[in-house]
Amino acid sequence: MKKIVLFASGNGSNVENIIQFFKNNKSVSIVGIFCNNPHAKVLERAENHKIEATIFNKTELNDTLVLEKLNQLQPDLIVLAGFLLKFPSHIIASFPKKIINIHPALLPKYGGKGMYGMNVHQAVIDNHEKETGITIHYVNENYDEGEFISQQATNIENCKSAEEIASKVHELEHEFFPKIIEKIIT
């Protein structure tokens, strides 16, 4: 049985999509959801699916608490699905090439500190881009600089707002993220 741990900070629509994708897969199990926001909707999703949730703060992420919990779970893959904090190097070192992230743009464009969610989509529209997309990549010590695993693009020439772009990017995330996770883990 391959074990996946999910990290999220907010709504958790990607988490929900990943859970649904693997729901009937007998060789993959979601063994935990980690969240740094005690008010995040993703915690409701964890409860609804009877998946253990771990709530932590930034200090606990950067000391040993989160690493100890991960070591207990021994995940085959750690998936950052809308997780907004920088991942600490001691966890990255403990799980080499086992931590992936999804970014709502075609990196290296629109990556780095502060570039998440609507900030990315607004920057894309402000710069009159003709396409955007998603990048799934391994996590390293720098925001959005890990080795690329997959990129998927979508045409946004007819989009008039950051919200329209967000909608198109979410479609890509939901279509491709679980498939790429499955490919990596199996």
Q: Is the distance from CB of 107 to CB of 135 less than 8 angstroms?
A: yes
- Is 57 strand, coil or helix? coil
103 is catalytic: yes
Q: Is the distance from CB of 15 to CB of 6 less than 8 angstroms?
A: yes
Cβ contacts of 85 within 8 Å, gap of 6 or more: 9, 36, 58, 61
Q: What are phi and psi of 116, to 5 degrees?
A: -150, 160
- Cα–Cα distance, 19 to 90 (Å, whole number): 27
Structure tokens at 98: 């086992």
Helix ranges, the chain (H): 13-22, 41-48, 58-62, 65-73, 89-94, 117-126, 162-185
**Which residue out of 39, 49, 90, 103 is catalytically annotated?**
103
Instruction: Give the C-alpha distances (Å, rounded to integers) separating 78 from 11, 55, 107, 128.
Output: 18, 16, 20, 34
Residues tagged active-site: 103
